[in-house]
Amino acid sequence: MPPDPRFATTPDPPYWVVIFTSRRNGQDPEGYERMATAMADLAPRQPGYLGIESTRDAEGVGITLSYWASEQAIHDWKRVAAHQEAQRRGHSTWYADFVTRVAKVERAYTMATSARAGL
Amino acid sequence: MPPDPRFATTPDPPYWVVIFTSRRNGQDPEGYERMATAMADLAPRQPGYLGIESTRDAEGVGITLSYWASEQAIHDWKRVAAHQEAQRRGHSTWYADFVTRVAKVERAYTMATSARAGL
């Protein structure tokens, strides 16, 4: 089977993850989608980008995980001008609430490696 | 406003997170929902449990974040018998693919604290 395109292909740990939990307020769906597409195109061009996983349910609650090689890469991405504009509009227009967490991934198991390990 | 019940109320970092990215295969929806409810009832009774955030989209791709006070708490929860049965059935029956990552949360920002910080 080819890899699932919704899953990120990350290296062996350690690496870093930005965990973004949010609830959309339903406002400006077209502007939001346009920005989401622009950021999905831009992020992979940043140094240290490793991949992204994202999902949102019918209630508007979403979780986006972006994976990075270092804290510095996260720091630099946060300060890219187009991304700062996305953050501003997220705050002012698109989200009812959000939390951002920065974490260091220490261990990872796939479905295949769990099988080999007998869970 | 009351806190959004879909968001976890976590303490100041550091703390730990288990990041579970998965794709459901559509099999056994009733058994899956029953187990998901049972695990959502059981996890908060474990020592070191801090909270959970979870979402799944119409394509069946979901992300679940469970927050824990320590690595030991994650280790112990992984070995709870009813949870081990859930892991086995997830592997054999419910998921097309999954990845589990264990990470240490180093920093966190809410919508409110981002506003105060001027992002």
3-state secondary structure chain B: CCCCCCCCCCCCCCEEEEEEEEEECCCCHHHHHHHHHHHHHHHHHCCCEEEEEEEECCCCEEEEEEEECCHHHHHHHHCCHHHHHHHHHHHHHHEEEEEEEEEEEEEEEEHHHHHHCCC
Residue B20 C-alpha, separation from nearest chain A C-alpha, in angstroms: 10
Whether A104 and B102 lie within 8 Å, measured CB to CB: no
Evaluated on CA atoms B70, A7, B64, B117, the torsion sign reads positive
* Residue A3 pLDDT greater than 90, yes or no: no
Look up tokens 């992204």; give the residue: A52
Tokens 């029956």 sit on residue: B93
A59 within 8 A of B6, measured Cβ to Cβ = yes
A111 pLDDT tier (thresholds 50, 70, 90): very high
Q: Is the pLDDT confidence value at A11 over 70?
A: yes
Which positions in chain B touch A6 (Cβ < 8 Å)? 23, 59, 61
> What average pLDDT does range A1-22 have in this prediction?
95
Residues of chain B neighbouring A15 (CB-CB closer than 8 A): none
| Listed residue (A91, A89, A17, A85) closest to B110, CA to CA | A91
pLDDT class of A71 with cuts at 50, 70, 90 = very high
Q: How much is the pTM? A: 0.95
Contacts of B15 in chain A (CB under 8 A): none
State the smallest CA–CA distance between residue B45 and chain A in angstroms.
22
> Please, which pLDDT band fits residue B2 given cuts at 50, 70 and 90?
confident
pLDDT higher than threshold 60 for residue A115: yes
Contact B23 A17 (CB under 8 A): no
The pLDDT tens digits of the residues spanning B19-54 come to 999 999 999 999 999 999 999 999 999 999 999 999
Q: What interface predicted TM-score (ipTM) does this complex get?
A: 0.94
Indicate the residue of A8, A96, A102 with minimum beta-carbon distance to B106.
A102
pLDDT at B116 over 90: no
User: Are A13 and B91 within 8 A, CB to CB?
Assistant: no
Average pLDDT, chain A: 94
> In terms of CA atoms, which chain A residue is nearest residue B88?
A119
Q: How far, in Å, CA of B26 to CA of B38, rounded?
A: 19
